[in-house]
Amino acid sequence: MTSLVEQFGFDHDLVAFVGGGGKSTLALTLGREFADAGRRVVVGTTTKMGTDQIPPWATACRTPTEVETALAAGSPAFLFDSINGPKVIGAAPELASRIFSDLDAAVVIEADGARRRPFKAPGPDEPVIPSDATAVVVVAGIDALHRPIAESCHRPERVAALTGRGIDQTLRPRDIAMVVNAPDGGRKRVPAAARLLLALTKVGAEHRTTVEEVTSLLPDDITVVAIPHR
């Protein structure tokens, strides 16, 4: 199976994952691939994730000094702010940018929440993307399609507003493209110099036409990557 590093084409990048449909899995898998390749890497969140998602292969760090110490010892670092019960509270986005600027490491951040729904549009305070991000990946589970927006989407009223659909109507491939390309959708808070990608997850052979349709509806500056079932 082709690695995420190869599929995305990332190298020395600060990558922010937003949207729904498997952000945590993609971010942690990408980080692990960097680590397994002997690369210095920092993974973490600027929002929230479950404490059960803290990777056992990384050293938990709250400060740049702790991150630098972990990397110097040959360990990947997991960046966060604190733990509140079952939740990890994310680090400030400015801290992720500082670490990327000061330390020779790739940084991979989960910068959004979707309450385990496969698709979403951002709310007023979302996403939390570091200003120095060199790439932003909007994640969408292809299993969100052909289901009512209210059922398959987080913040369904925002998805409906961006697509002109009702929340009781089904999500279509063109709706995904519309949300991803919208200034208040997938482009929201993306740094001007950052690459923008759409990762369609849970893709099977039967979805090839759907992937092609979504791709055809997006401008050339958005790279579409199909992620198969893992």
Instruction: Report yes or no: 18 and 138 within 8 Å, Cβ to Cβ.
Output: yes
Query: What is the domain range of residue 76?
Result: 10-228
Edge-to-edge strands, sheet with 106-110: 59-61, 77-79, 41-45, 106-110, 14-19, 135-141, 195-203, 222-228
* pLDDT tens track for 34-49: 999 999 999 999 999 9
CATH number at residue 42: 3.40.50
The reply to whether 1 falls in a domain is no
pLDDT of residue 2: 85
Contact criterion met (CB below 8 Å) for 138 and 198: yes
**Would you state the pLDDT for residue 230?**
66
Residues of the chain with pLDDT under 50: none
Report yes or no on 5 lying in a domain.
Answer: no
Buried b (16+ CB within 10 A) or exposed e, 40-49: bbbbbbbbeb
Tell whether 81 is covered by a domain. yes
Identify whether 4 is part of a domain: no
Place of tokens 């898998």: 29
**Cα–Cα dist 197/209, whole Å:** 19
